Amino acid sequence: MSVTAAKGFTAAGIAAGIKENGNPDLALVVNNGPRRAAAGVFTSNRVKAAPVLWSEQVLKSGQVSAVVLNSGGANACTGPKGFQDTHATAEKVAEVLGRGAIEVAVCSTGLIGVLLPMDKLLPGVETAAAQLSEHGGEKAAIAIKTTDTVHKTSVVTKDGWTVGGMAKGAGMLAPGLATMLVVLTTDAELDSATLDKALRAATKVTFDRVDSDGCMSTNDTVLLLASGASGVTPEYEEFADAVRQVCDDLGQQLIRDAEGASKDIKVEVINAATEDDAVEVGRSIARNNLLKCAIHGEDPNWGRVLSAIGTTSAAFEPDQLNVAINGVWVCKNGGVGEDREKVDMRYREVHIVADLAAGSQTATIWTNDLTADYVHENSAYSS
């Protein structure tokens, strides 16, 4: 279902030959209207891939007719030629669909610093366009996978309207988004300003708080397209809630499929003076390699949690910090708490609560453990 669950959308996913192994690598998502309102959120990395630079321009009009996505190459750090390639891809989609190129967003994912094989990609656009279908959402989701072991989709259906989406990403997940490509669609009838507001509110508390390895991609893109095909204009809060649900679900799927991970770690910071403090502390804990190794070893090493908290500028007193791991308060008032032997670490889910005892704000960051498999996968990626 994914991007074709909402009315007014067709999609396709095919193997264009960009990937040498012959796996699907090209996806097309088309908004058939009647409306073509859209919003987008992009990587905050200052080294942006050509498709990000292009799509940022496309989104300025608040109108998107189609999204073309490829795996098998990020088209990042590819200079003027890379940008020309992105432009040519959008032109090709526009030509095939009979739309304007400036309404075609482009997303790419894969290795940085390699030009895309345009002799395969452009014919692939024609093939994909010929296969566009109201049932093509699944195939599109499959075609954008890189090291993902599974494809990721999510749908929320409300009273007469729907929000659905697909995502790819499995590592290099970090704030300001991650190497994730996400396309969300809805048949609700809304303008681009409303979409933008709802999308930013949702990504701030979902994808922005998924931090698998602290590395930020050059290609992150989250797009939300609205066809208006349901004829329904929902209340803003209800719509924003649905978008947040889909983003949250997709974000959780990304974490569960993170490269080499054996544990999914929920870092919940409570009683912070401000939400920013809570996020800063959560991220510091989530990025601590030593802690991530300890969790991998099923070791409730709360000292590494405190050490990570100590590097932040958040409001707290060291002798008032409390830490729970899987429900056991192993650290109380900055020192030894309940017996660490009580902590059951056998399961994939690990829940760390850091109590700053400095206020009433909270935030949750999702991360993974650090494993030998992560090292192996990322040692061999481009060789």
- Residues acting as catalytic residues: 179
Residue 171 near residue 179 (C-beta atoms within 8 A): yes
Q: How far is the CB of 210 from its own copies (least distance, A)?
A: 15
Task: Say how many C-beta atoms besides its own lie within 10 A of residue 344's C-beta.
Answer: 12
Answer for which of 73, 82, 164, 169 binds its own copies (CB under 8 A) is: 82
Closest of 87, 127, 114 to residue 19, by C-alpha: 114
Per CB under 8 A, the segment of 18-26, 153-161, 352-360, 367-375 that binds its own copies is 367-375
Chain-centroid distance, C-alpha 335: 37
CA distance 377 to 367: 17
Q: Is 288 in the site for its own copies (CB under 8 A)?
A: yes
Answer for which of 310, 327, 342, 348 binds its own copies (CB under 8 A) is: 310
Phi, psi of 108 (to 5 degrees): -135, 150
Q: How far is the CB of 308 from its own copies (least distance, A)?
A: 8
Chain-centroid distance, C-alpha 378: 19
In the range 167-206, which residues lie near its own copies by CB under 8 A? 171-172
Asked if omega into 51 is within 30° of 0 (cis), the reply is no
Q: Is 289 in the site for its own copies (CB under 8 A)?
A: yes
DSSP-H helix ranges across the chain: 50-59, 79-97, 118-130, 137-143, 192-205, 236-256, 275-286, 289-296, 302-309, 372-379
Nearer to its own copies, 39 or 216 (CB): 216
Build a one-symbol-per-residue string for 18-57: x at contacts with its own copies by CB under 8 A, - elsewhere: --------------------------xxxxx---------
Look at residue 46 and give its three-state secondary structure. coil
Q: Is 371 in the site for its own copies (CB under 8 A)?
A: yes
Element housing 337 (H / E) = none
Q: Is 232 in the site for its own copies (CB under 8 A)?
A: no
Answer for which of 214, 256, 274, 364 binds its own copies (CB under 8 A) is: 214
Q: Is 160 in the site for its own copies (CB under 8 A)?
A: no
The reply, when asked if residue 154 is annotated as ligand binding, is: no
The reply, when asked if residue 179 is annotated as ligand binding, is: yes
Please list, residue by residue across 133-142, b when 16 or more beta carbons sit within 10 angstroms of its beta carbon and e when fewer do.
eeebbbbbbb
Element housing 155 (H / E) = strand 152-157
Per CB under 8 A, the segment of 93-101, 230-238, 303-311, 348-356 that binds its own copies is 303-311
Binding residue ranges: 146, 168, 179, 259, 378, 383
Which positions lie near its own copies, rule CB under 8 A?
44-48, 74, 76-79, 82, 111-115, 171-172, 213-218, 287-290, 293-294, 296-299, 301-304, 306-312, 316, 318-319, 321, 331, 333-336, 370-372, 374-383
Binding residue ranges for substrate: 146, 168, 179, 259, 378, 383
